[in-house]
Amino acid sequence: VAAVVAVFAFFVVRGLEIGAPGERIAVSGVGVHPPEGQPITYDTVPPVGGPHWPSPARWGLSTAQLPDERVVHNLEHGGIVIDHNAINGDDLAKLTSLLSTYPRDKYGEVKIVIQPYDRIAPGTIVLTAWGWRQILTRYDETVVRAFLDAHMNRCCEDVP
C-alpha cells in the first residue's frame, strides 16, 4: 500500500509543475514495451510519451529520423528529444553544441537526442520530454535551456 501511495504522490507532484516551460500533455504508457518493430500510434506529433519499443536510441545527434517508437523510450529515461525540420545551419550548430556544453548527468550522459523530423513544419524545432512539448519557429537559447533545465532527468526511469 505504501508503494502505491508513493507512486501516486510522485505523479501528482509531477503534474503540479506550475510555471514549467512548455505545454503539459497528459500521457500514459510508462513501462509499456510492445515488441520491437510493432507500429504504435501516438496522440501527438512528435510524441511526448506512451508505449514504446524496448530499446532506446543512442543519445546525441542523429542525421536520420529515428522511429518514434524508439525515441519515446529515451523520454521515459528522462531524456529530451529535439526534432527539427529544414532549419538553418546556424540553428542546427547551436542545437548540436548543447551535446558538448550541457552538463552531464550522474551517469556521464547528456540525455539529448537531436534528429531531423519530417512530420513537423519546415523551419520548426520541437523539444519534447515525457508529457511536455515546446514548439519553436526559430532557435531561442533561453527557451531551449529553460526547457532542458526543467525537464531533463525528471521522468520515470533513473537510468543512463
1 assigned to some structural domain:
no
Angle between helices 141-151 and 89-101 (to 10 degrees): 40
4 assigned to some structural domain:
no
Q: What is the residue range of 142's domain?
A: 20-151
Residue 78's nearest CA partner among 38, 101, 53, 106 is 106
* CATH code, domain with 72: 3.40.30
Q: How many domains in the chain? A: 1
**Per-residue pLDDT, 8:** 45
**Per-residue pLDDT, 31:** 84
12 assigned to some structural domain:
no
**Per-residue pLDDT, 17:** 53
pTM of the model as a whole: 0.87
100 assigned to some structural domain:
yes
**Per-residue pLDDT, 1:** 62
**Per-residue pLDDT, 30:** 86
Paired residues of 115 in beta bridges: 83
What distance in Å separates the CA atoms of residue 110 and residue 149, rounded to the nearest whole number? Answer: 12
66 assigned to some structural domain:
yes
15 assigned to some structural domain:
no
DSSP result, 63-81: SSPPPHHHHHHHHHTT-EE
**Per-residue pLDDT, 144:** 98
13 assigned to some structural domain:
no
In tens digits, the chain (160 residues) has pLDDT values of: 655 444 444 444 444 456 789 999 999 888 899 999 999 999 999 999 999 999 999 999 999 999 999 999 999 999 999 999 999 999 999 999 999 999 999 999 999 999 999 999 999 999 999 999 999 999 999 999 999 999 999 998 888 8
41 assigned to some structural domain:
yes
